Structure 1
Amino acid sequence: MTAGPTFGVEPFEVGYGASFAAQGGSPLDLDCPVVEDGGVMTVHTPPRAGIPERLAFVDGTMSTDARLTRREADGTLAAGIAGAWAAGSVLSEAGLPLRLDGVCFGRLTVCCGGAPVPLPPQPGGWEWEAVAVEGDDVEVARQRLQRRMREAEGALAERLCDAGWLTVVDGPLNNVRRTRTVPIVGYVKTHHRRMLAADTWARVPELEVGQRSSLFAIGADLYGAYLRVGDAGPWASAWAGIVRLEVPSGAGRAAATGAVESAAAWLPRFASAPHRDRRAPVNLTPISGLERALRRHTGDPGLALRAVRAAVMQLNTRETATTATRTGDRR
């Protein structure tokens, strides 16, 4: 008898996008080789372990406060955005309460077409750095804002690692030195492309809570493994509760295997609960609290939009006055 399809509910809040969007046949798919267990995907159940004595969680947030346009005298229009970013960490130290560290934030206007939109500062501390990107795709502008956030996350993670903290970065290790040997773990909650050969990839949802997959190589610089960090509920999709762990390859395969095995043992203790976080269980509890704190730094979206509107009005008034002065001078 052929089994029929099964159905599930995505644990992510709709505004965050899908946690699983890897469709077969994408040109972005990878066939990362399994480098543990003789190249055969194997389920590992790490022994229980205590939480590391000095542990740091790093994350960032960003928001698009307004869409902008720049209209030239010939009628040419270029799109852009005004937005904010913030990054920071939560430190967990034996015998001490969790605490925030290294919070930084900023505001940007990013305009397409290669010309920036220099918004004047507004009362209340509203200031924007003006940058520009080439082309006319506003998604590229959004990616530039995201890159600024990721760069800040990477710099903070590097500093914490150098200070001896075992650091968990919420997201891939794109902005961390790949050759480092100091412990650092990337924690990837979303799956947007197939990372393994199709038959191996299909086995990943077999993982139970607290179990990890075999180690696999992601290019020459990273190792990865999948972990089911928590139970998303009987209604959830097959990949709900699964995250990808990343570790640098600089310390060698044995050290990477040990780092993943250790992280898989204690990370489930930080899994969030569904009644507290709509992205449970994959959104770790310290990360959830950090995100709330960072949003306080980026400010209220309504006030941010009001400040952008006031700045645009002031900028337009200034441009009109400048044009009038130039016209008068020519006369």
Structure 2
Amino acid sequence: MTTATTSGPGGRMRFHIDGWDPAYGSAMEDTGEATTVAESTARIDATVETPPEQWAPVVAGPESKEPGAVVFVDGVRRIEARAWIPDADDTGASMGVAASYASGAVCCCPDGGAHMLVSEQRRGLFTTDAHTTDVATKAGEFRAHHVLADETESPAVTLSAALQRELLALELVTAANARAAVSGHCAEPDTDLLVIDGPLRSRDHLPRALGFIKTHRAIYLPPELNAVVGRLGPGERTPVFLMGTSWDRYAWYLRLPCRPGSPWVGVVRVECAASLTAKEAVELASLSQLLLPRYASVEYKDQRAPQNLVPIAGLERQLRRRLGDQKMVYRALQVAAASS
């Protein structure tokens, strides 16, 4: 985040330039200020840790017992080509999306080392055509995924959502495999901490797991509590609150180490399962204050700093490489289409 001062008719004013590459959007989905993001209808219980009238930034306390290892899980997806699948009578065609996707896990060991634990790669052809079969190419087989058409959404949105569901399912498999791999490798059983890049939804049954959300699409807290987020210092968090939408979870906001800027610069939302007790949720929140700031990225190395944590950024790079050369994959699809 770059801060500058400029002159105008009314004198000098301060303004902020978001440090994220514009290709990634912004940490705040609109202009970067919380007041411009859509208000949420989520149910909020702000009494989990502190009465609402006593809400204030929570400073990191005495160091918590560290986990045996911290495991970061993330996934990537890439649209290789858009396709059209003709109807049997050639009177129409259904849209298709050929995509590659992968997920993996990085283990940050107690000795300070980090390495890839597991990874999985897939290729798929997502379409509303019910008769589409798998497509074999020189770049691998694209497995057919038949998607029900949604009259309220465009085919592109429907297919993209189906791809995202498959990626989330693959991440769940990766998380389970990573947990099995780390046990006995550098951590005693049931001592690791899992950090999943993105909301914890559909994965909140995983024990000792945190969801790590970099972008903010809605205002969940009422104004008087939301203002506390803007007052957070580096390494400070809000009190834990219970949030309910189509699913329930505990959540808190945490500011990572960063240069001064807008009220929400460096702020992430962290989640844990609602099945935990309030005491357990607060303990995880305190642990996140100890651990996550260590992995914050810096501007000169990452255009999504500090929210794009270093292990996650490295994992994304490795996974994208494992998807293969995009031009080669596209050419392989062209060849397969020409010979079909």
**TM-score normalised by the shorter chain: which range applies?**
0.7 to 0.9
Q: Residues 299 and 31 (structure 1 numbering): CA distance in 2 closer, same or farther, change over 3 Å?
A: same
| Cα deviation code 1:287-323 (max 9, x no counterpart) | 11111111111111111211111121122xxxxxxxx
* Separation (CA, whole Å) in 2 of partners of 1:237 and 1:130: 45
Q: In structure 2, which of residues 19, 26, 30 is the aligned counterpart of residue 18 of structure 1? A: 26
Deviation for aligned residue 1:49: 3.5
Q: Give the partner amino acid of 1:94.
A: P
* Separation (CA, whole Å) in 2 of partners of 1:306 and 1:6: 49
Q: In structure 2, which of residues 320, 325, 329 is the aligned counterpart of residue 295 of structure 1? A: 320
* Separation (CA, whole Å) in 2 of partners of 1:145 and 1:151: 10
Q: Residues 276 and 132 (structure 1 numbering): CA distance in 2 closer, same or farther, change over 3 Å?
A: same
Give the structure 2 partner of residue 64 of structure 1: 79
Q: Give the partner amino acid of 2:143.
A: E
Q: In structure 2, which of residues 35, 39, 44 is the aligned counterpart of residue 32 of structure 1? A: 44
More strand by share: 2
Which residues of structure 2 form unaligned runs of 5+? 1-11, 184-189
Q: Which moved more, 1:38-47 or 1:289-298?
A: 38-47
Q: Residues 99 and 70 (structure 1 numbering): CA distance in 2 closer, same or farther, change over 3 Å?
A: same
Deviation for aligned residue 1:272: 0.6
* Separation (CA, whole Å) in 2 of partners of 1:116 and 1:15: 36
Which protein is bigger by CA-based radius of gyration?
A: 1
Give the structure 2 partner of residue 98 of structure 1: 114
Give the structure 1 partner of residue 253 of structure 2: 226
Which residues of structure 1 form unaligned runs of 5+? 316-331
Partners of 1:171 and 1:189 within 8 A in 2: yes
Q: Give the partner amino acid of 1:247.
A: C
Give the structure 2 partner of residue 275 of structure 1: 300
TM-score, reference length from structure 1: 0.84
* Separation (CA, whole Å) in 2 of partners of 1:117 and 1:313: 16
1:147 maps to 2:169: no
- The count of corresponding residues between Structure 1 and Structure 2 is 308
* Separation (CA, whole Å) in 2 of partners of 1:217 and 1:6: 35
Give the structure 2 partner of residue 110 of structure 1: 126
Partners of 1:225 and 1:244 within 8 A in 2: yes
1:45 maps to 2:53: no
* Separation (CA, whole Å) in 1 of partners of 2:123 and 2:288: 34
Q: Residues 243 and 215 (structure 1 numbering): CA distance in 2 closer, same or farther, change over 3 Å?
A: same
Secondary structure at 2:80 match in 1: strand
Partners of 1:119 and 1:311 within 8 A in 2: no
Q: In structure 2, which of residues 132, 137, 140 is the aligned counterpart of residue 126 of structure 1? A: 140
RMSD: 2.6
Secondary structure at 1:8 match in 2: strand
Secondary structure at 1:128 match in 2: strand
Q: Which moved more, 1:40-49 or 1:27-36?
A: 27-36
Give the structure 2 partner of residue 252 of structure 1: 277
Secondary structure at 1:306 match in 2: helix
